[in-house]
């Protein structure tokens, strides 16, 4: 097989911005024909699917196809506490770069590596000659879009577990844990009832509702090792 027919490894994340729940980084290796097949199936930036149950179902279906067609799929999950430790030290980008290194090491050799996010992954170009980094990397190669969908699908599933823990008491937890009106409403109601934040809250986050409710609970973290 010629070098040109070798796979491309795409790297992307989901969950960098939320105030509730985990951060997920994924890598997907795709050969050209299978990348083309996923493009025809509608694989694109996971954010374009929107929110809500239908979007989650569509991402889940596409993630399943990605796993079936990819040469390799790797995922790393960081819970809210790990995110807090790195954010409080101003090192969140380092957390994601570390994940990328491990994901690259776990994959078989590839012709090309493409990652989404110049500020986050750009510094790795000196370590990996085949690494290309773009903002809006999902449009640079479908492998990045596939990684985006795999990462977001994993985060969807993990956030669904969080939502299920609170559903009986607080109703449907909407907003995906992102900084929006639905999440702020849940945090306010939880804090009113219990005088603290839910355990899955990223307390290092620059989120107005957290500072408004109880600034004493913010930024109390051990630095990352």
3 state SS for 176-217: CCCCCHHHHHHHHHHHHHHCCCCCCECCCCCCHHHHHHCHHH
Same domain, 87 and 48: yes
Same domain, 149 and 174: no
Same domain, 59 and 149: yes
What distance in Å separates the CA atoms of residue 124 and residue 102, rounded to the nearest whole number?
12
- The per-residue pLDDT for 112 is 96
Same domain, 128 and 189: no
Tens digit of pLDDT at every position of the chain (225 positions): 233 478 999 999 999 999 999 999 999 999 999 999 999 988 876 677 777 888 899 999 999 999 999 999 999 999 999 999 999 899 999 999 999 999 999 999 999 999 999 999 999 999 999 999 999 888 889 999 999 999 999 999 999 999 999 999 999 999 999 999 999 999 999 999 999 999 999 988 878 889 888 877 655 556 676
- The per-residue pLDDT for 45 is 66
Count of CA atoms in the C-beta half-sphere (13 A) of 30: 26
Buried b (16+ CB within 10 A) or exposed e, 92-108: bbebbbbbbeebbeebe
Same domain, 141 and 179: no
Contact 146, 28 (CB under 8 A): yes
Listed residue (152, 103, 106) closest to 115, CA to CA: 103
**What is the tally of structural domains in the chain?**
2
* Residues 6+ away with beta carbon under 8 Å from 46: 14, 59, 145, 148, 149, 151, 152, 153
The pTM assigned to this predicted structure is 0.91
Listed residue (133, 57, 139, 72) closest to 104, CA to CA: 72
Look at residue 42 and tell me if it is in a domain.
yes
Same domain, 10 and 72: yes
Look at residue 222 and tell me if it is in a domain.
no
Handedness of CA 111, 49, 60, 159 (dihedral sign): positive
Contact 29, 7 (CB under 8 A): yes
Q: Which domain holds residue 149?
A: 3-160
Look at residue 225 and tell me if it is in a domain.
no
Same domain, 74 and 9: yes
Listed residue (173, 170, 152, 150) closest to 161, CA to CA: 173
Same domain, 51 and 95: yes
- The per-residue pLDDT for 219 is 55
What distance in Å separates the CA atoms of residue 212 and residue 207, rounded to the nearest whole number?
9
Same domain, 76 and 173: no
Task: Classify residue 141 by burial, with Cβ atoms within 10 Å: 0-12, 13-18, 19+.
Answer: buried
- The per-residue pLDDT for 2 is 33
Domain boundary residue among 160, 179, 203? 160
């Amino acid at each position: 097989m010629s070098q040109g027919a070798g796979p491309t490894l795409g790297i992307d994340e989901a969950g960098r911005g939320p105030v509730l729940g985990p951060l997920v980084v994924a890598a997907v290796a795709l050969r050209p024909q299978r990348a083309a097949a996923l493009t025809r199936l509608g694989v694109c930036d996971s954010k374009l699917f929107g929110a809500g149950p239908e979007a989650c179902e569509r991402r889940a279906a596409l993630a399943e196809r990605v796993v079936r067609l990819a040469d390799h799929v790797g995922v790393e999950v960081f819970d809210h506490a790990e995110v807090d430790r790195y954010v409080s030290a101003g090192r969140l980008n380092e957390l994601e770069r570390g994940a990328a290194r491990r994901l690259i090491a776990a994959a078989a050799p590839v012709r090309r590596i493409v990652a989404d996010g110049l500020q986050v992954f750009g510094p790795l170009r000196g370590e990996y000659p085949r690494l290309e980094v773009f903002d809006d990397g999902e449009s640079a190669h479908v492998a990045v879009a596939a990684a985006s969908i795999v990462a977001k699908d994993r985060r969807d599933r993990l956030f669904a577990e969080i939502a299920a823990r609170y559903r009986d008491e607080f109703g449907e937890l909407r907003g995906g844990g992102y900084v929006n009106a639905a999440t702020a409403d849940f945090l306010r109601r939880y804090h009113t009832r219990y005088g603290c934040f839910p355990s899955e809250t990223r307390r290092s986050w620059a989120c107005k509702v957290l500072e408004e409710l109880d600034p004493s609970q913010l930024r109390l973290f051990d630095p990352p090792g």
